[in-house]
Structure formats: C-alpha cells, structure tokens
Amino acid sequence: MNTTSAAVAGAAVFVWLGMVLAISFLEAPLKFRAPEVTVPLGLGIGRIVFRALNMAEALLAAVVLVAVAAGGPGTGVVVATAAVVAVLAVQLGVVRPRLNRRSDRVLAGEQVPRSTAHWYYVALEVIKVVGLLILGVLLLSA
C-alpha cells in the first residue's frame, strides 16, 4: 500500500478509534452516574451525542474507504476495512433504529422494559474497536 494512502487511512482510523472509546466507553456510561441525571435526560443527551458520533464515524469510514481503495492495499487491510465498515453499517442500519424507537417511547413517558438492542450495540462497539485496532496496526506496517 502506498505510504500516503496508508498515512491518511491510519490517521482516520485512530481518530475514529479515539472517538468511539471516548464516547461509547467513557461518556455514555458516566453520564448516568452524574447527580440528578434521569434516564430520560440521559437518553436525550445520548441521542444527540451518538447522532454526532455516528455522523463523524460515517465520514471517517468514507475517508478510510477512499484512502484504502486508492492505496493498493493488501488482503488484510481490505478485510479489516470491510469488517469495521460492515459493523458500522449494522449499527446504523439495524440497531440504532431499534434503540431510537425505544428511546422515543421512554421520552414520551412510557414505562418500557430494558432493551436487548443496547447490548447488541455494545457488542458491536467492542468488535469495532478490535477491528479498528487491527486495521490501524496493519496500516502502520504498510
């Protein structure tokens, strides 16, 4: 893979990784521990934060895809890129809509049971983090 493409893709991957770690594994769980943050308030904040994160992720994924496609990558880079982009697509296209429907109901005042979709999202975040780490290392060695 050419060095310029690897550098651009690598930078985007590590920015993406940092954002996911900071938001999904630090901000999201901590906000519910803050004094006087109710579940509806936390959900409202979370929706705004995750909407912004997901837009940034989509942009970073596009940068990675373009840089990888332009760089003549090896098989490992192609597979890792496809994997992280696929995970993001499942999160945005399948899991987030379910979470949004549930949070709409909670914000409307309904008492709804805990959602298993949240755990799917978390599991996909863990998979994505591992994939981004692998992709980042592969790009550094390219």
50-67 tens-digit pLDDT: 999 999 999 999 999 999
In angstroms, the CA 51 to CA 130 distance is: 22
CA angle (8, 82, 78) in 5-degree steps: 65
Phi and psi at residue 74, to the nearest 5°:
-80, 175
In angstroms, the CA 5 to CA 27 distance is: 31
Check residue 51 and give its pLDDT.
95
Mean pLDDT on 94-102 = 94
Report long-range pairs for 106-114 (Cβ below 8 Å, ≥24 apart). 106/39, 106/40, 106/43, 107/40, 107/43, 107/44
In angstroms, the CA 107 to CA 24 distance is: 21
Q: pTM of the full predicted structure? A: 0.94
pLDDT band at 114; cut points 50, 70, 90: confident
The DSSP call for residue 72 is -
